[in-house]
Structure 1
Amino acid sequence: MKRFPYTICSMKVLMTFLTFTSVNKSISIPDPRQRDQLLQQESSWQVGGGVELTAAEQRLDSLLHKLKEQEMTAPHFPTAMHFFKAKPYIQQSPVFKLLQKMPKGAVLHLHHSAQVGADWLVLNVTYRPHCYVCFTWGGSVQFLFSPQRPFPRWGCSAWSLMEQLRATISDVAAFDQSLMRNLTLFTEDPDMAYPTQDVVWNRFEQTFVAISGLITYAPVFKDYIYQGLQQLYDDNILYLELRAGLSKIYELDGTVRDKEWSLQTYRNITEQFRLEHPDFVGIRIIVTAHRALSLSQVEVALKETLELQKRYPDIIAGFDLVGREDSGKPIWYFQEALSLPTEVKTNLSYFFHAGETDSYGTDVDRNILDALLFNTTRIGHGFALAHHPLAKELSRKRGVPVEVCPISNQVLKLVSDLRNHPAAVLMAEGHPMVVSSDDPTLFGTSGLSYDFYEVFVVIGGLSATVGTLKELAMNSIRYSSLPADLQDKAMFIWQQKWDKFVLENSS
């Protein structure tokens, strides 16, 4: 189902208004009925504006509207606040607590390496046998599982066995907290810690490397997948599309598992999870390659993805280029490699990161248009889309949604005050979109509730309604890569959960 807000009817209302005002310039007080009609028409254009609400949904909408009004007048309303400062206030919010209960559908933009909470990584994974740690001169941390002390690598000359290291520390809880800090971007003063995008991105990439040493160990990899599914399920999410580079997985004896092993593991763990949670629909993988790679390397990655898709069509959703857009190669640089599926007459869906930048007018900025030229299925972030009216119109007409990741965009310094996020304009225009979390480990979030709060309360303001929430949740299923029969199944499960949620919270 695709929505096109600029209908013939709405344009007639607008033309009537323009004709009326141009002919009647001498009238000092506009017709209140015409004003009401325009306000109503404008509301109908926004995301959720065309959703008809049941009586129970209308009652819930009234409740949420009142709660939002109360929060917006509170002394610590988290509007212009950085998320790291706003998080404690969000957690106390009655609106947030309702959103936690809300069935959100699917998460469509999430990276494998930043899926699970840092607390689980530290309190579970680093307490396992054979876990070594190294603190580098650059101020970062590295982990590795090994049967004996690892050789110097990655700037690490001294590796310590975690079990032995903890035995020498008097305040282990404080030490564990410091490790958690090394696996997230959290800081009490983010503006001081991250004065520029370069600084925060450098820390961002260091953190991914630190996490990698833990989650690419085969026994942890299996548990990590399950834990990630559990955390999503606990936040009322029923389906996941995961961006994953399918990194090589290592065993304690030095055996290295290939990408096919990883895919089989994803499938097996997901099936196990679904047996225990029958209302969870499943998982599909968007295979990724880093945009810092060469043209030939990306071509190899694409060939591997095409081969994997032949063998595992049920779990491979498509392909994406990841990494910081401002410092990586633009999509157009890889045009020859990206044309490979067409040349071999094979379908491969693209899900490009595009427009995660504020460098307007550059080659990087043109990723938005290039993503559409290569028929991207969705646009990851799309922060710059508002600066490209043609690309925005193409995206709307084709039904190509934007994966909006508000907390990620703020933490990585694209926008400081989320009220000014470009998604506010896209929401007002009814542009196709879904809400996503991007890298929850690094931001100290879990599931989608925090990002839904930012979209519903801060970006959407009082204009966002229960209809907005309903359409965003339904969009996450409509715009997924699931085949039609599984989309129908997911929508049926979601609708049952939604009706129950509304009934329990509207009286």
Structure 2
Amino acid sequence: MVGEQQRPHAAVACLLFSCYLTGCLSMPDPRQREALIQLEASMQTGGQMVLSNAEQRLDSLLFKMKQEEMTRPECPPTMHFFKARHLIRTSPIFSLLQKMPKGGALHVHDFSMVDIEWLVKNVTYRPHCYMCFTDNQSIRFIFSSQLPKPLPHCSPWTLLENLRAKTINTTDLDNSIMGNLTLFTDQDPETVYPSQDVVWDMFEQTFLAVWGLVTYAPVFRDYYYQGLTQFYMDNVMYLELRASLPEIYELDGSTHDTAWTLKTYQEVTKQFTADHPDFYGARIIFTLHRGVNMSMMTGGVEKAMKLQRDFPDIMAGFDLVGREDVGKTLWYFRDALSLPAERGVTLPFFFHAGETDLEGTEVDQNMLDALLFNTSRIGHGFALHRHPVVRDLSKKRGVAVEVCPISNQVLKLVNDMRNHPAAALMSENHPLVISSDDPAIFGASGLSYDFYEAFVGFGGLRSHLGSLKELAINSIRYSSLTPKQQETALALWQRRWDKFVSENAF
């Protein structure tokens, strides 16, 4: 049975703790010491998961792999991901995680899900693609049947087809373009990105650079299908995508509205699931930038309610995006965010909150306010360990934290993955899901890299196959799917899991 678990012996635990606290033993009893160790182990993510014989064999293999991994001269979780990526790729643990059915990816953004090389090699080679260079050394793109109107603070538009024809080394040009669409660098990342301000500025520039490519209607469809393909190839069977639902443009400059964009997501998802029957599907979380004014936020919430009514199958809910430290707080938008409840409308929230290290500020209260607004999940929740009331409340309510390890490291919230706050959350089996946020921009793909960082970095030697199994199950259990849909998805996942275990438990 999916997620079958055993219960710890509460009476034994109480007795052991009582003896420990009162000092009833003059000399610690090794058996009681072992019992306490086992009790603590049972409290972690996956600690109560009952493993089959085959799963136990695979677990033993994983443990040996992890022992070797953590004694390597260069242990990847201790390093910046940009430096560790090539080491992770050669890891037998990573190879196994790539094969593992990971369930769903519940925290991924729309225009950072597809490998940058595909975007450059495929999309920028299409006809009518223009490029210009901005004053701050970034780039912008647009598809047009004629020379586009000039952009402020940008060089004159250049047709890429003509530029490549004049360029001796197109590989260098393509690599230069790719460098503008990702944060990944072969240089020392600490030198290239010395502060959160610098890395966030570059992060936001990459979205602006890619915008004109992915909002072109023919590319938009292909891009989303390719994104689903890349997650599917990484053994992800379900996706919840944060999407801004922008106006999508055609070659003649005409545009489609938000409803068209959402309907297109729906159509492409149906096509993909028809082509790949073991892929369960995808849903969209409509997002608005937290830098907008109150009027725009009110309009955004009203639009979200309408989309929720008109597209209940594909529309999962609503969220705010953008850098939390410099954006407006959830409490600032409380009037707008209260509209659904006041009107008796169900609009699920999936709020980004706690993606900060600014302790004690108004921003630091976003997680509490997210819970007050009945958020379905907490995006990132990096600061949760500093808020015991919020942590306990989210656990009691079953509000899962969407942990994105590589994102937190690249955006300079944590250096060593072993010190990530989620390690403590895993030790107490707080509801967690692992996701990848913006994999293309970070030089990653799919979900396996983030699972590696969580399994080896957060979990250390203590996390095991049961931990991985529960994290995968969590990604369906805490999704926006209905209980009946979750049951169907879990059954599909279980078949893939059993096959994975049988093929790898030697």
Tell me the TM-score range normalised by the shorter chain: over 0.9
Query: What is the letter of the counterpart of residue 400 of structure 1?
Result: V
Cα pair distance change 1:2/1:365, threshold 3 Å: farther
Q: Deviations over 1:367-424 (max 9, x none)?
A: 0100000000000000000000000000000000000000000000000111100000
State the partner residue of 2:397. Answer: 398
Cα pair distance change 1:166/1:373, threshold 3 Å: same
State the partner residue of 2:226. Answer: 227
State the partner residue of 1:168. Answer: 166
Residue 213 of structure 1 and its aligned partner are, at CA, apart by 0.9
Cα pair distance change 1:309/1:196, threshold 3 Å: same
Q: Deviations over 1:79-113 (max 9, x none)?
A: 32100000000000000000000000000000001
Q: Which moved more, 1:173-182 or 1:193-202?
A: 173-182
Query: What is the letter of the counterpart of residue 58 of structure 1?
Result: Q
Give the alignment of 1:38-437 within 5 angstroms: 38-187=36-185, 188-437=187-436
- Looking at structure 1, the residues matched to 385 and 358 of structure 2 have their Cα atoms a distance apart, in angstroms, of 13
State the partner residue of 1:504. Answer: 503
Give the alignment of 1:458-473 within 5 angstroms: 458-473=457-472
Residue 137 of structure 1 and its aligned partner are, at CA, apart by 2.1
Count of aligned residue pairs for this structure pair: 504
- Looking at structure 1, the residues matched to 196 and 20 of structure 2 have their Cα atoms a distance apart, in angstroms, of 47
SS of structure 1 residue aligned to 2:363: coil
- Looking at structure 1, the residues matched to 327 and 22 of structure 2 have their Cα atoms a distance apart, in angstroms, of 54
Alpha-carbon contact 2:13-2:39 (below 8 Å) kept: no
SS of structure 2 residue aligned to 1:128: coil
Alpha-carbon contact 1:13-1:38 (below 8 Å) kept: no
- Looking at structure 1, the residues matched to 38 and 452 of structure 2 have their Cα atoms a distance apart, in angstroms, of 25
- Looking at structure 2, the residues matched to 228 and 336 of structure 1 have their Cα atoms a distance apart, in angstroms, of 35
- Looking at structure 2, the residues matched to 35 and 24 of structure 1 have their Cα atoms a distance apart, in angstroms, of 13
Q: Deviations over 1:287-329 (max 9, x none)?
A: 0011001111111001011111111100110000110000000
SS of structure 1 residue aligned to 2:209: helix
CA RMSD in angstroms, aligned pairs only:
1.7
SS of structure 2 residue aligned to 1:476: helix
- Looking at structure 2, the residues matched to 415 and 95 of structure 1 have their Cα atoms a distance apart, in angstroms, of 23
State the partner residue of 2:481. Answer: 482
SS of structure 1 residue aligned to 2:76: coil
Alpha-carbon contact 2:354-2:364 (below 8 Å) kept: yes
- Looking at structure 2, the residues matched to 77 and 168 of structure 1 have their Cα atoms a distance apart, in angstroms, of 45
Q: Deviations over 1:453-507 (max 9, x none)?
A: 0000111111110000000000000001011222111111100000000000001
Alpha-carbon contact 2:129-2:160 (below 8 Å) kept: yes
- Looking at structure 2, the residues matched to 156 and 135 of structure 1 have their Cα atoms a distance apart, in angstroms, of 5
- Looking at structure 2, the residues matched to 100 and 26 of structure 1 have their Cα atoms a distance apart, in angstroms, of 48
Q: Which moved more, 1:180-189 or 1:394-403?
A: 180-189
- Looking at structure 2, the residues matched to 141 and 22 of structure 1 have their Cα atoms a distance apart, in angstroms, of 64
Residue 183 of structure 1 and its aligned partner are, at CA, apart by 0.5
- Looking at structure 2, the residues matched to 25 and 487 of structure 1 have their Cα atoms a distance apart, in angstroms, of 48
Cα pair distance change 1:330/1:502, threshold 3 Å: same
TM-score, length-normalised on structure 1? Answer: 0.97
Query: What is the letter of the counterpart of residue 86 of structure 2?
Result: P
State the partner residue of 2:450. Answer: 451
Alpha-carbon contact 1:404-1:436 (below 8 Å) kept: yes
- Looking at structure 2, the residues matched to 473 and 174 of structure 1 have their Cα atoms a distance apart, in angstroms, of 40
Gaps of 5+ in 1: none
SS of structure 2 residue aligned to 1:107: strand
Alpha-carbon contact 1:356-1:382 (below 8 Å) kept: yes
- Looking at structure 2, the residues matched to 150 and 31 of structure 1 have their Cα atoms a distance apart, in angstroms, of 79
Alpha-carbon contact 1:105-1:238 (below 8 Å) kept: yes
- Looking at structure 2, the residues matched to 408 and 80 of structure 1 have their Cα atoms a distance apart, in angstroms, of 15
Alpha-carbon contact 1:2-1:399 (below 8 Å) kept: no
Query: What is the letter of the counterpart of residue 296 of structure 1?
Result: S
Residue 8 of structure 1 and its aligned partner are, at CA, apart by 8.6
Residue 181 of structure 1 and its aligned partner are, at CA, apart by 1.2
Query: What is the letter of the counterpart of residue 494 of structure 1?
Result: W
SS of structure 2 residue aligned to 1:331: coil
Alpha-carbon contact 1:283-1:315 (below 8 Å) kept: yes
SS of structure 2 residue aligned to 1:325: coil
- Looking at structure 2, the residues matched to 271 and 21 of structure 1 have their Cα atoms a distance apart, in angstroms, of 58
Alpha-carbon contact 2:402-2:434 (below 8 Å) kept: yes
Residue 21 of structure 1 and its aligned partner are, at CA, apart by 3.2
SS of structure 1 residue aligned to 2:480: coil
- Looking at structure 2, the residues matched to 274 and 179 of structure 1 have their Cα atoms a distance apart, in angstroms, of 32
- Looking at structure 2, the residues matched to 114 and 231 of structure 1 have their Cα atoms a distance apart, in angstroms, of 12
- Looking at structure 1, the residues matched to 36 and 8 of structure 2 have their Cα atoms a distance apart, in angstroms, of 15
Residue 25 of structure 1 and its aligned partner are, at CA, apart by 6.5
Query: What is the letter of the counterpart of residue 91 of structure 2?
Result: S
TM-score, length-normalised on structure 2? Answer: 0.97
Q: Which moved more, 1:129-138 or 1:449-458?
A: 129-138
- Looking at structure 2, the residues matched to 449 and 79 of structure 1 have their Cα atoms a distance apart, in angstroms, of 14
- Looking at structure 2, the residues matched to 204 and 79 of structure 1 have their Cα atoms a distance apart, in angstroms, of 22
Query: What is the letter of the counterpart of residue 74 of structure 2?
Result: H
- Looking at structure 1, the residues matched to 192 and 31 of structure 2 have their Cα atoms a distance apart, in angstroms, of 53
Residue 253 of structure 1 and its aligned partner are, at CA, apart by 0.7
- Looking at structure 2, the residues matched to 26 and 249 of structure 1 have their Cα atoms a distance apart, in angstroms, of 72
Deviation >2 Å, runs of 4+: 7-10, 12-19, 21-26
SS of structure 2 residue aligned to 1:110: strand
- Looking at structure 2, the residues matched to 371 and 18 of structure 1 have their Cα atoms a distance apart, in angstroms, of 35
Gaps of 5+ in 2: none
- Looking at structure 1, the residues matched to 57 and 319 of structure 2 have their Cα atoms a distance apart, in angstroms, of 42
- Looking at structure 1, the residues matched to 69 and 431 of structure 2 have their Cα atoms a distance apart, in angstroms, of 28
SS of structure 2 residue aligned to 1:380: strand
Q: Which moved more, 1:17-26 or 1:397-406?
A: 17-26
SS of structure 2 residue aligned to 1:439: coil
- Looking at structure 2, the residues matched to 22 and 199 of structure 1 have their Cα atoms a distance apart, in angstroms, of 50
Residue 17 of structure 1 and its aligned partner are, at CA, apart by 2.9
Q: Deviations over 1:315-367 (max 9, x none)?
A: 11000011000000010000000000011111110000000000010000100
- Looking at structure 2, the residues matched to 480 and 319 of structure 1 have their Cα atoms a distance apart, in angstroms, of 14
- Looking at structure 1, the residues matched to 395 and 209 of structure 2 have their Cα atoms a distance apart, in angstroms, of 39
